[in-house]
């Protein structure tokens, strides 16, 4: 849409679906009808006979002149919803632009061929079209919040050169049903819930493994991994709640019955928590990159404390989110704070983007160090594999894949791809840092070996046969004795205490003694 210069001579007459009107009247009628068509269930205004809008429950009325900013500001104040006002004004501006285009096209393309006249249908502008044809135009974004931006609306020009009319209303009719494809949005909702659920199912056991094994949880690097996994866990949980309770609720209920419209305290708290933990994702990723760079730049100066990193992970994200909550609560306290408001979203976006930029710089530094090592040892194929593995791990760890979806072209494919990339990051991090980690494999393998120790899980038959063999093979001086020491480090591993053997006739129903049982329990 291109806005016309206010000093340009306005058209004399303009046409909409109900008839032809002078420009000033057309401007008021179309702007009034834009509101009723877009928001049929929210009657803030009542239309008067002189083309004005009477504000409900107030003692004044205004003519909705889109070219008069003072009047439109007063009407928007009565609406009380910034998003609704923007959508309404966008429709009014397109209607005025359509009026100018009607006159321009009529002056430049006069023809004797039978055709349908240019018109405004209440949502979109239609140019002169040949008879007996179906024409299309892009679906306008202000028609519905769930508009499919890459779809078209259709209008039929009949064989007698008139626009097709709905027999019920006897009004010209346009097919906008293709603009709102609920099935596609349900697929996006399902993809969001599924990816977050899978990520949570991978992150929770990964976090448990990091905390369970002492040799892992004592490492600073693993402790920072725990911060990142916990952040992703809470992000997934709150994102699932938001998608099901708020986003999907818009498909199930009428606009006035949704949680967004009610704007409850719980809904706003849910938005705040979702936004906060999303911010902690970025700061925890930044901390991971910062810690790696510090280790590479000062190999022998390992940080003694991580309190500064913890504050950066959990404290810093709280600042922009609290500022944003105060701004929204005082200036734009509507629709659970979901809609964009005059650029205030950059209070949240700026720190997150700075974290991503910092991680790009960290990655460049790390790659320089790794490639310098490759040049120092060019004949080591293991170094090449290690470098490729490091790059493969650092991309999801530092969140660099998010850079590919910063630009949003408003297509269904891009929206679905963005949902999958953003919400699956936690699962990828869990796989890379935990389930593909050789340190974790070694700890689990050692724990399994200790649990399956043959000394502590001896079956009755094996125990009896072993005792008989030992008695028969020992010296005569010991055959009548009651004890024997069995020293087999490979089988006993950590079970190094003396094991007292009771004569066969007294141990028939016994298994491993208490000393061995106690010594076989591993301490993590």
DSSP state for residue 220 in the 8-state scheme: H
pLDDT at residue 149, as a whole number: 66
Give Cα separations from 169 to 17, 29, 153, 166, 173 (angstroms).
12, 19, 20, 6, 9
> Does the pLDDT at position 462 exceed 80?
no
CATH no. of 182-444: 1.20.1070.10
Distance CA 512, CA 23 (A): 99
Of 92-101, 242-251, 330-339, highest mean pLDDT: 92-101
> Does the pLDDT at position 458 exceed 70?
no
> Does the pLDDT at position 303 exceed 80?
no
pLDDT at residue 350, as a whole number: 92
pLDDT at residue 44, as a whole number: 72
- The residues of the chain that CATH labels 4.10.1240.10 are 13-179
Tens-digit pLDDT profile for residues 150-192: 788 999 999 998 999 888 888 898 988 788 777 778 888 899 9
> Does the pLDDT at position 198 exceed 90?
yes
Distance CA 106, CA 111 (A): 9
3-state secondary structure 146-201: CCCCCCEEEEEECCCCCECEECCCCEECCECCCCCCHHHHHHHHHHHHHHHHHHHH
Tens-digit pLDDT profile for residues 24-72: 889 888 888 888 888 776 667 776 666 777 776 667 777 888 888 888 8
Beta carbons within 8 Å of 161's beta carbon, 6+ residues apart: 114, 115, 116, 131
Work out the end-to-end distance of the chain between its first and last CA atoms, rounded to an integer number of angstroms: 66
Bridge partners of residue 126, in order along the sequence:
119
Distance CA 486, CA 498 (A): 7
Residue with tokens 């280790």: 295
Distance CA 339, CA 334 (A): 8
Architecture of the 13-179 domain:
Irregular (4.10)
173 and 206 Cβ atoms separated by less than 8 Å: no
Distance CA 43, CA 35 (A): 9
- The residues of the chain that CATH labels 1.20.1070.10 are 182-444
Tens-digit pLDDT profile for residues 211-242: 998 888 888 889 999 999 999 999 999 999 99
Helix (H, G, I), strand (E, B) or coil at 14: strand
Mean pLDDT estimate for the chain: 78
Distance CA 31, CA 396 (A): 48
């Amino acid at each position: 849409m291109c806005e016309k210069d206010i000093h340009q001579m306005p058209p004399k007459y303009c046409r909409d679906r109900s008839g032809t009107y002078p420009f000033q009247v057309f401007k008021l009628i179309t702007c009034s009808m834009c509101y009723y068509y877009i928001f049929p269930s929210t009657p803030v205004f009542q239309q008067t006979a002189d083309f004005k809008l009477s504000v409900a429950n107030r003692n004044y009325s205004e003519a909705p002149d889109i070219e008069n900013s003072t009047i439109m500001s007063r009407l928007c104040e009565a609406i009380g919803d910034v998003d609704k006002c923007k959508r309404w004004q966008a429709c009014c501006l397109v209607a005025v632009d359509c009026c100018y285009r009607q006159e321009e096209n009529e002056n430049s393309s006069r023809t004797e061929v039978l055709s349908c006249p240019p018109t405004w249908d209440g949502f979109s502008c239609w140019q002169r079209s040949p008879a007996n044809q179906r024409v299309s135009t892009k679906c306008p974004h202000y028609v519905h919040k769930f508009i499919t931006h890459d779809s078209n609306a259709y209008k039929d020009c009949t064989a007698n050169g008139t626009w097709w009319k709905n027999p019920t209303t006897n009004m010209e009719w346009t097919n906008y049903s293709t603009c709102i494809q609920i099935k596609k949005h349900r697929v996006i909702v399902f993809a969001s819930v599924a990816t977050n659920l899978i990520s949570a199912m991978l992150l929770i056991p990964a976090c448990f493994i990091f905390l369970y094994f002492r040799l892992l949880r004592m490492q600073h690097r693993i402790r920072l991994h725990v911060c990142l996994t916990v952040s992703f866990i809470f992000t997934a949980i709150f994102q699932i709640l938001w998608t099901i309770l708020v986003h999907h609720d818009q498909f199930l209920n009428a606009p006035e019955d949704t949680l967004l419209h009610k704007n409850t305290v719980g809904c706003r708290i849910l938005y705040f928590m979702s936004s906060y933990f999303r911010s902690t994702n970025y700061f925890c990723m930044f901390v991971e990159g910062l810690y790696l760079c510090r280790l590479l730049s000062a190999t022998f100066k390992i940080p003694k404390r991580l309190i500064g990193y913890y504050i950066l992970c959990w404290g810093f994200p709280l600042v922009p989110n609290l500022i944003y909550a105060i701004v929204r609560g005082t200036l734009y306290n509507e629709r659970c704070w979901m809609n964009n408001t005059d650029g205030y979203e950059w209070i949240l976006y700026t720190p997150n983007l700075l974290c991503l930029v910092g991680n790009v710089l960290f990655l460049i530094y790390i790659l320089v160090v790794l490639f310098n090592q490759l040049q120092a040892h060019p004949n080591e194929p293991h170094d090449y594999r290690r470098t490729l593995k490091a790059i493969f791990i650092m991309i999801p760890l530092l969140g660099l894949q998010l850079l590919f979806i910063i630009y949003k072209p408003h297509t269904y494919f891009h929206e679905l791809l963005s949902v999958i990339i953003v919400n699956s990051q936690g699962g990828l991090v869990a796989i890379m840092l935990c389930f593909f980690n050789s340190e974790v494999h070694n700890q689990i393998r050692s724990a399994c070996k200790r649990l399956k120790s043959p000394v502590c899980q001896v079956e009755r038959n094996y125990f009896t046969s072993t005792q008989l063999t030992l008695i028969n093979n020992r010296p005569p001086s010991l055959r009548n004795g009651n004890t024997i020491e069995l020293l087999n480090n490979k089988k006993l591993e950590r079970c190094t205490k003396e094991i007292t053997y009771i004569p066969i006739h007294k141990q028939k129903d016994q298994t491993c003694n208490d000393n061995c049982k106690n010594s076989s329990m591993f301490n993590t």
